[in-house]
């Protein structure tokens, strides 16, 4: 239970940091904070402990490829931010991320077997 509480506090601290940064002169840094590899670190430790170094390498490689859907998301937000409402912009970008992520997973599974 303490572990869950600490994770919630950490999440709240990150949201607070993003909120503070978004109001500062360096508001753009708020976009860097969520990219700290918190969950990647957790996943990498678990994969390495349960499956070994070779699986960790594969997980890292897939992580590199997973930057493509994120790139698509950010590119669409950049291109649509002034053309659509905020909710439409983010919805379209998120939907495109989902399509790109699904294509990545499908492609990864096809080429790994």
How confident is the model over 7-42, as pLDDT tens digits?
898 889 989 999 999 999 999 999 998 888 888 888
Q: Kindly tell me if the per-residue pLDDT of 68 is higher than 90.
A: yes
What confidence tens digit (pLDDT) does each residue in 39-58 have? 888 899 999 999 999 999 99
What confidence tens digit (pLDDT) does each residue in 83-100 have? 999 999 999 999 999 999
Distance CA(5)–CA(94), nearest Å, equals: 29
Q: Kindly tell me if the per-residue pLDDT of 113 is higher than 70.
A: no
- Residue that has been written with the tokens 């708020």 in this structure: 30
Question: Cα 71 to the chain's mean position, in Å?
Answer: 10
């Amino acid at each position: 239970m303490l572990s869950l509480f600490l994770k919630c506090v950490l999440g709240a601290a990150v949201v607070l940091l993003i909120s503070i940064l978004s109001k500062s002169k360096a508001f753009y840094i708020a976009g860097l904070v969520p990219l700290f590899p918190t969950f990647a670190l957790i996943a990498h430790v678990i994969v390495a402990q349960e499956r070994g170094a070779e699986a960790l390498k594969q997980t890292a490689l897939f992580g590199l490829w997973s930057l493509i859907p994120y790139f698509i998301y950010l590119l669409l937000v950049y291109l649509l931010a002034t053309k659509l409402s905020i909710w439409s912009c983010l919805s379209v970008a998120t939907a495109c991320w989902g399509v790109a992520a699904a294509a990545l997973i499908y492609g990864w599974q096809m080429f790994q077997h």
